[in-house]
Amino acid sequence: MADKTITCKDCGEDFVFTEGEQQFYAEKGFENEPIRCKKCRDARKAQRNNRRSDDQGGFNSPRIKKY
Ligand SMILES: [Zn+2]
């Protein structure tokens, strides 16, 4: 295995999918390579966390799926 350069789907920047990360993915059984750089993945993760805390804070809101 060797490091791979992938173009991020979100920001269009090239990022390196390192040998170690590829191994990690293989160990986890992920079949797909990452399509976003770490920055964008972190941003998306943060977004998801925000949404989750929104849901918990909605003491008054009806149960509506906001997707
Ligand atoms: Zn990106």
Q: How far is the CA of 37 from the centre of ligand 1 (A)?
A: 4
What's the CA-to-centroid distance between 64 and ligand 1, angstroms?
31
As a whole number of angstroms, the distance between CA 56 and CA 32 comes to: 32
pTM, to two decimals: 0.64
> Is pLDDT of 60 > 90?
no
Region 11-31 average pLDDT: 95
Q: What is the pLDDT of residue 50?
A: 82
Calculate mean pLDDT across residues 22-34. Answer: 94
Is the model's pLDDT at 56 over the cut of 60? no
Question: What is the percent of the chain with per-residue pLDDT over 70, rounded to a whole number?
Answer: 76
Domain spans in the chain, listed from the N-terminal domain onward: 4-55
Cα(35)–Cα(43) distance, rounded to whole angstroms? Answer: 14
And the tokens for 20? 């170690």
Distance 29 CA to ligand 1 centre (A): 23
